[in-house]
Structures are given as structure tokens and as C-alpha cells.
Amino acid sequence: TTGNDNDDWEVAVDTGEFDKRLEQQEKARAANQVNFCFVLD
């Protein structure tokens, strides 16, 4: 249910897990962009 999802979301934010996930997503996105540039060259 959406209620449980919201609870998990809040717990993730409170524990800092949310920030870690965002960092990992940003790093992965940056790495993908770099690899994409190499492929284009």
C-alpha cells in the first residue's frame, strides 16, 4: 500500500539512506555520461 511506501520513504530520509541512494544515482549517471562521450569519440 502507499502508506507503507511513505513510511519506508520517511525512514530512509531520517536514517540518511536516502542521501546515500541519491549520491549513488548521481555517480552512476555521471559515469554513464563519461562512457557515452568515449563511445561518441
The pLDDT assigned to 3 comes to 61
pTM over 0.85: no
Q: Domain coordinates of the chain in residue numbers? A: 2-40
Query: Each residue of 27-41: pLDDT tens digit?
Result: 988 888 777 666 665
CB burial of 22-38 (b: ≥16 within 10 Å; e: otherwise) equals eeeeeeeeeeeeeeeee
Q: How far apart are CA 24 and CA 11, in angstroms?
A: 18
The pLDDT assigned to 39 comes to 66
